[in-house]
Structure 1
Amino acid sequence: MTDASATTQAALSAEARALMARAARADSRSRRAESASIADAFRAPEARLDDRTRAAFSALVSGIVGVVEGELSEYAARLLTARGATAAAEAITRTTAPVVDRLAAAGLLGDPDFAGECLARVRLELLTEGLPADAGAEGDAPSLLARLTQSSDRVVATAASAAMIGESHRRSLGEGRALSGTGLPSALHARLVWWVAAALRNRVGDRIADPAALDRALGEAAKRSIAAHDDDDRVEMAAMRLAAAVDPQAAELLALIDEVLRDRRLTILAAFLAHALGTDYELGRELLIDPAGDRLWLVLRALDVPREVIARLGFHLCEADARRDAEAFADALDLAASIDPATARLAVAPLTLHRDFRAALMALDAARDDA
C-alpha cells in the first residue's frame, strides 16, 4: 500500500468512526425520546402539562439558563482576554447553540428541585394571571402594597416597598421584559451556575489549545456569580418579610385575603399563609397551586377563616385554573366548613414540620405501607 493510499484509508477510517459515533448518539437520543413518550402515554391526565404551562415553563427555564450563560461567558472571556488566551475568549463568546439544549439533553434540567421550583413559579404566575380582574374587594381603594408603603410603621413600609418592586419586576417578565437574574433560591442558583459552567466548557473545550485556562476562568466566573446572588433580593423573600412585618392576626387575615384577590397578588397571599402557619414560602405557594385544594381549605379552617371567605377564594381559583372542578370545590367547601378550627389545626400540624423532616416521614410511611 502506498503512502497516499494509507493516508486516504486513515482519513476514511476517521470519518467512519465519526459517523459511527454520531449514529450511536442518535440511537441513544431516540431511545430516550421513546422512553419519554411511553412514560407520557401512561401518565394520568391531571399530571400532564397543558400547552400554556409547558410553553411558560420552557420560556422560564431557557431565560434563567440564558442569564447565567451570558453572565459566565462574558466574565470568563474578560479574564481570558486579560490573560492572553484570546482564542479561548473568542470561542466562549461565539454564538452557537445555547447551553440550555446541552443541559436538557444531559438530563440536568430534569433535576427535581430545579424543575420543581421553576414549575411551581410558573403555575403561580399563570394562576395569578387567570384571576378575574374584579376579584376581591370592591371600590377604587389603593392596592394593598400601595397602602402598606404609606404605613407609619417603618418596617412595614420598607417591606411593602421591596415587595412592590419585586412584584412589578416579576410581572413585567410576562410582558416580554428580559430576566435580570435567576430568582432562584441560593442553593439552586449555585447548582445551575455550575451546570452552565460545565456546559460552556463542554461546548468549547475541545477546540482550544489550553483548556486549563478556560477551566480557571469559568471557575472564577461561577464563584463570582454565586457570591453575588442574594436570596433577599427574591420577590418571594420580600413577600415573606412583608408578612412577618405585618404579622396579621386572625381577623386581619380575612381582609388581607380579599385585598390580595382584588390586587391579583398571589405571591403575597402565599407568604401570608406561610407566615400564619409558621412555615416556609414554598408551602404557602404549594397550597395555592394544588388544583385539588383540600389542604388549602383545611389550612384556612385551621386559621379560623369563615366559609364565605373560603368560598370567594375557592371560586376565584376555580375560574383561574381550568384543572379545578367548581362542583367538587362546592362539595369540599361544605366539608371544610363543618370542621372545627381546633380540629383542623391538629390535622394540618404535620404540614408545619421542616420540609426535609416531613419528606423523610412520608417516605418512611410509604415504605411501611409497601412492606
Structure 2
Amino acid sequence: MGALDKGYKADELIRLAADKSVSARNELVENITDLFLTPGGRLNEHERALMNDILSKLILNVEQHIRRELARRLADSMDLSGELVGMLANDKIEIARPVLEKNKLLQDAQLIEVIRNRTDAHRLAIAIREDVSAEVSDELIEHGSEDVVEALINNSSAEISEASMEYLVAESKSLDRFQEPLLSRQDLPPGLAFRMYWWVSAALRRRIIKEFEVDETLLDDAIEMATKHSIQQAEEEDSVMDKALKLVRKLDDENKLNTTFVLQALRQEKVNLAVAGLSQIAGLSVKIVWRAFRERTGESLAVIAKSIGLSKEEFTSLFLLVMQTRSGGKARATSLLKSILTMYNDIKAANARAAVRHWQRDLGYQDALTDMKEAI
C-alpha cells in the first residue's frame, strides 16, 4: 500500500494548499514532509513523481514562510525532482540557501544559472557546497564578490582550475584576504606559492619556505637556462651593471667567484658588484637580488643564502653588511638579526633551492617586477 493510500490524498493536499489559513498551510508542510522524509511515509516511484508534480504546481502559490520551511526540511532530500529543486534554488535566498548549500541533486548547469542570474548571497551559498566542480568555481570567480571568492578558496572540497588558480594568485597581490586561504589549499602548485612569496607577510613567507617542497628533478633545466639567458640580455642594457656582470662572469669562468668576493665587495661599498656576484652565484636576476637587498626583514636574502649553502656565520656577515649599506653604516645588531637567524636555521636547504629555481624559471614574473634603481 502506497503512502497516498494511507490517508494523504492528492485532493486533500491541493485543498490545503488553496486554504489561506495558517493552520492549513502548516498542515500542508507537515503532510508533505511526512511523505518525503518519514520512514512510514516513504513514497514509491509513482507517488514520488505525483508529489513532485503537485509541489511544482503549488510551490509558487504558497506564502514565503511555507516555502522556506519546505526548503529547510527537504534541503538534502534525494526524492525531489530536478524541476522542483531548481525552483527552490532560484527562489529568494531565505528559501534557496539550504538547498544551494546541501542538495546533491542540483546539476552544474542549474548552479551556473543561479550564479549568473541570482544574488551574491546565492553565490555565497554555492561557494560553500561540498565538491564544487571546476566549471562552477570558474563561474563563481567571474561573477562573485570578494566574499564569495574567499569562501570558495576556503572550501577545500572545491575544485579550482589551473587557470583560475593563477588568476587568484595574481589577485592576491592586491587582495591580502586571499593569501592565507590560497596557501592553505593542498592543490596550490608550489610554483605559484613561490611566486606569492614576494608580496605576502613575513609569517606567510616562512610558511611557503617550510611547507612547499618540490622535487627538483621535475624542474625543466632547459627552460630555466633560456630564462636566465633572456634576463641576462635585458640586464646588459645597463652599462653600470653590465660592467659588474662581465667581471663576475669572468671570475666565475676562472673559478674565482665565491661568497668571500661578495662580502668583500660589500665591505668596500661596491654594492653593484656584490649584487652582480650574488646573482651569478645563485643564478638569479639582479632584479631579484636587488629586491632581497632592499627588504628590511632579510627573508629573501636568507632564502637565497640558504640555497647556495652559506653557513650561519657567512649569512650573518652578509645580512649585517647589507643592513649597513641600507643605513649608511649605522646598522646595529638588533632583535631583527636574532629573528632572521632563527628563520635561517629553520629553512630547509632543499626548499630554498626549489624556491630559487622557480624564481629563475618564471620569466613572465621577472618581466613584471618593478625596475630597481642602480644603487642603494
Settle same-fold status: TM greater than 0.5.
Answer: no
**Structure with bigger gyration radius:** 2
Q: TM-score, normalised by structure 2?
A: 0.31
Flag the structure with more relative contact order, 1 or 2, with Cα contacts below 8 A and sequence separation at least 6: 1
More helix by share: 1
